Amino acid sequence: MSRRQPSSRSCFVCGRENPVSLKMKWDQEPETGEIRATVTLPDHFNGYPGVAHGGVIAAVLDETAGRAILIDGGFEELMVTAKLEVVYRRPTPTGVPLLAVGRLVRRDGERAEAQGELRLPDGTVSARATVLLARPPQQIKDGWAPEREHWRVDPD
């Protein structure tokens, strides 16, 4: 049974109150070990007319893979990206629903590896990422504290 992940207020990818956010919402699928979200990239996020900008695709994949660490945890499990490798397999169109899928590959205390992929409506993978995650320094985590009370699941 899937369960919706919480989101923040200000994130570019998931921020509920950010006017330029993609407002993505991920569902956890514990039986498959995956998280999933649907997003339609507006044309103003294009690199070429009708084709999503590679940087926006990287941001979606980074967030998706990074959220895979949360499948069995919450706010305290958040990590930061130490390395992001993206492979663009084919152009990703704007204006069509895309499926973002993330999964945790391995976790070793202070570090983790996760993967994300973006799928076209026919199931073809348009881009794939491998992300190395690390626990942030305490001073960074301390800066996140005010957001904790706003980290929640909003109704659809």
Average pLDDT over residues 130-153: 87
- Spatial CB neighbours of 109, under 8 Å, sequence gap ≥ 6: none
Which CATH fold topology does 3-146 show?
Answer: Thiol Ester Dehydrase; Chain A (3.10.129)
Q: What percent of the chain has pLDDT over 90?
A: 67
Cα separation, 20 vs 15, in Å, equals 9
Supply the mean pLDDT for the chain. 92
| Closest to 126 (Cα-Cα) out of 78, 86, 69 | 86
Reported as a single tens digit per residue, the pLDDT across 111-140 is 999 999 999 999 999 999 999 999 999 888
Average pLDDT over residues 88-109: 96
- In the DSSP assignment, the letter for residue 93 is B
Instruction: Give the domain ranges of the chain.
Output: 3-146
Per the confidence metrics, is the pTM higher than 0.75? Answer: yes
Which pLDDT band, with edges at 50, 70 and 90, does 156 fall under? low
Please tell me the predicted confidence (pLDDT) of residue 63.
96
